[in-house]
Each structure stands twice: as structure tokens, then as C-alpha cells.
Structure 1
Amino acid sequence: MNLEHYLTTHHQGTPRQIFRLLRQGRVTVNETVADSGRQSVTADDEIAVDGLAVTGRQPQYLMLNKPVGVVNDLRATVAHSVGSLLNVLDQERSLQVLADLPKEVAGLVLLSDDAHFLADVQAAHWPSTLEVRVNGTALQDADLKTLAACQQAQLVTHDLQRYQIVTVQTRQVAVATTALLGLANVSGAVARTAIGPLQLPVDLSTGTYRGLFEPEIDAVMVPTGDTVL
């Protein structure tokens, strides 16, 4: 079979990721960097990604619905940390976190043992979607125009329950969070509901996580050489 098919059948990533692995020179066959996915390989060849044998490399891509107050520390023994949520039996996992969410913000966090994936997502510089609830119905759209570091802002009013939801997009999460918490009558924490095109599933409970699906992985990866404007 060809190398691209071999990597796919051995769960080394989506087809788009495998293209990137090859293009970035991260795949070797018999200790020689592979330059084409069409190269023929056999079971006798020594195939590695990032220096690790393909047969022993099972990359993980996770999304976590982080509770407010939890810090981006992956050590299982640290209280109120991402690691304590992921490692209920105090068993360390070889993961890294896209550590761009302050502890006072809840919501979507990405984790992986593929550092290149996290670096690619960070380099894409996707905007985060943040939202917060405000008691009462006094806010107007004009009040949102002064929010710091917010590219877009939307206000939804629930007249019957007498509250409003403020949603913003920003590339400066910490600054925008301070601005949102400065609104009058804020109720609860600021939460991140999306990173670029990747949405936090409504059925992913706070404090839980799941693996990313292939379309979700591809959605947050910008093709090599491209940037997000």
C-alpha cells in the first residue's frame, strides 16, 4: 500500500493532517524523511512520525468544558486543575493544553498530545466566542460598542425571564473578559462557546470532555502557508 493509506489505516490523523505531516517532514520510512504519500511501503518498513513508531503512536485530540476557577495545569495532583479533571485516578496523561483561557473563564479548552496540532491552532489565531448573562433588560446594542478587545458583539434579550445574553468575538480573551465582567448586573461566569469554527457542544456537561471528530480537527487547522484574517 502507499504511505498515505498506511498512515490513515494506522490512525495517524485525518487525511488533511497526514498531508501536513508529510509536508512538514515529520514522517520517516526506514529513517529517511518521506517526501510523498504515494511512496509504497510494506509491513517490514520502519515508519515513524515525529520519531515515534507508527504502531505505538495513537494521537489524542480532546475538547474539555472547563469549569470556572479551574487552572490550566495538567498535573493530576493539583487541585482545581485541568489535570485533576482528566485524571480522576491520578494517572498522568501525556497531554498539552491550549492554555489561553484564564481560570475565571469557563468553557471550551483544547488538549492534545500532538504539540504540532496545538501550535497550528494557536498560529491560526482564531477568535474566541465569549458569552455572559446579565440580569434585567436595560442593556442596548450601543452599550456593547465600547467593550474592549471585542470585534463583534451581539445582545439577545429574554423579556419573559428578564435577562440578556451578551455574546462577543475576540482574539484577546483576558481583556474582553474584564470588559464583560465590568457590565452592570452580570450573573455568573464568562464562558467560551467557540474557538473559530469549533463549537462547544450543548450536551458536553461542565467538567467533562470528549474526543474531537475528524471534521472538528480539520475545521481548526488552517492549510500550511495560510492565515486567518
Structure 2
Amino acid sequence: MNIERYLTENRQGTPLQILRLLRQGRVTVNSDVVDSPRATVAVADNVRVDGMTVTGRQPQYLVFNKPVGFQLSMDPTTPHSLGSLLNAFDQPRQLKPLADLPKEAVGLVLASDDEHFLTDVTGQNWPSQFQVQVSGTTAPVLAPNQAFREVTTQVDQVHQHVTVTLTTTDGEMAVAVLGALPDALGPVERVTIGPLRLPVDLPNGAYRGLLPAEIDELTGPLDDEENRM
């Protein structure tokens, strides 16, 4: 069979991920780098991805709803860390987070044991949406800031609060600015990273695996050269 089908049947990623693996030179057959999805592979061949046999490589792609005060450390022995939230199956994995959400904020965090995936997501330079609710029905006025791509406010007359949302690639600045607003009703929350929105059914302090479509959206489209393969 061809290497693309082989990697797919061995659950090495989505179809777009497998093309990336090949293009990035991360797949070897009998120690030779293979970059064509049409290359053939036999049962007796030694196929590896990132130096690991395909039977031993089952990467994890996770989305967390981080609680307030929790560190981004993935060490399961560290109290009040994302690692302490992991179940027994995920604890032994060498997971790493996208380390871009301050401890005082809550919401969406990505983590994976596939460093290339994290690098690909970082390379997209996705903007994120950060929001906070403040009491009252008068929308606060924020000083102009070139780091903010968009600022929106939504007044809730029924519950007597205003939701302020910033869209930016500078998460630390967004958390600092929103956290300094008077009469905030809770911590600053990140609700999106690029195309990924914090799942509404993911409770605070919980996590789940990313869906294949979410993985592909986060890593961005393949370039023209990859599409011609």
C-alpha cells in the first residue's frame, strides 16, 4: 500500500496532518526519509514518524478550559496546574501547552505531545478573543491600543452587566487591560484561538481531545506545493 494509506490506517493524524508529516520530512521508511504520499510500503518495512515506530506514536491534541489560578505546567505532580487535571491515561505523555495564558486568566488552552503541531499553530499567529463582564449597563471606554484588532461591548439590560471583548494576538496585554477594568464580575476569559471557540459543553477545569476538523483548522491550509502532491 502507499505510505499515506499506511499512516492513515495506523492513526497518525488527519489526511492534512499526514501530508504535513511527509512534507516536513518527519516520516522514514527503513531509515530513508519519505516525502511522497504515493511511496509504497511493505509489511516488513520499518516505518517511523518523528523517530518513533507508528505503532508507538499516537499523538494527543487537547483543549482545556483552564480554571483561574492554574499554572500551564503539564506536570501531574504540580498542584493547581493543567497537569493535575489529566487522567491516568494522559499523565505519562510528554504534553506541552501553548504557554500564552496568564495564571490569573481562565479559558481556552491548547496542549499536545506533538511539538510540530504546536509550532504550526504558533506560526499561524492566530488572534484570540478575550472577554470579561463588568457590572452596570454603561460600556467602559478603553484607551486606543494598536495591539487590539477589535474591541466590542455588549450590554445586558436584564442582568445589568456589560461584556467587553478584545480580539488580539497579545494575550498578556489583553488580560492586563481587561483585568484592570473596575467592577469586573470575574476573571478574564479566553474564548477563542483563531477558528477554535471554547466548547460550550466543556466545563471549567475539564479537557477533551481536539476533533480532526479542529486540528486542520488550527494548523492552517496546506500551501500550493503541498496541494499538488
User: Which residue matches 1:33?
Assistant: 33
In the alignment, does 2:172 pair up with 1:187? no
Structure 1: distance between partners of 2:96 and 2:85: 14
Contact 1:147 1:176 in 2 (8 A): no
Offset of 1:15 from its aligned partner?
Answer: 0.7
Q: Structure 1 residues 72 and 66, CA, compared in 2 at 3 Å: closer, same or farther?
A: same
Q: Which letter maps to 1:63?
A: V
Structure 1: distance between partners of 2:152 and 2:20: 36
Alignment of 1:112-127 (within 5 A): 112-127=112-127
Contact 1:147 1:180 in 2 (8 A): no
Alignment of 1:11-160 (within 5 A): 11-87=11-87, 91-139=91-139, 143-144=141-142, 146=144, 149-160=147-158
Q: Structure 1 residues 18 and 168, CA, compared in 2 at 3 Å: closer, same or farther?
A: same
Q: Which letter maps to 1:72?
A: L
The runs of at least 4 aligned residues of structure 1 exceeding 2 Å deviation read 87-93, 144-149, 222-226
Q: Which letter maps to 1:173?
A: G
- TM-score of the two chains, using structure 2 as the length reference: 0.93
Structure 1: distance between partners of 2:185 and 2:72: 24
User: Which residue matches 1:166?
Assistant: 164
More displaced 10-residue stretch of structure 1: 26-35 or 146-155: 146-155
Structure 1: distance between partners of 2:61 and 2:192: 16
Identical pairs, percent: 51
> Which residues of structure 2 form unaligned runs of 5+?
225-229
Q: Deviations over 1:30-50 (max 9, x none)?
A: 110002110111211110001
Aligned length: 224
- TM-score of the two chains, using structure 1 as the length reference: 0.93
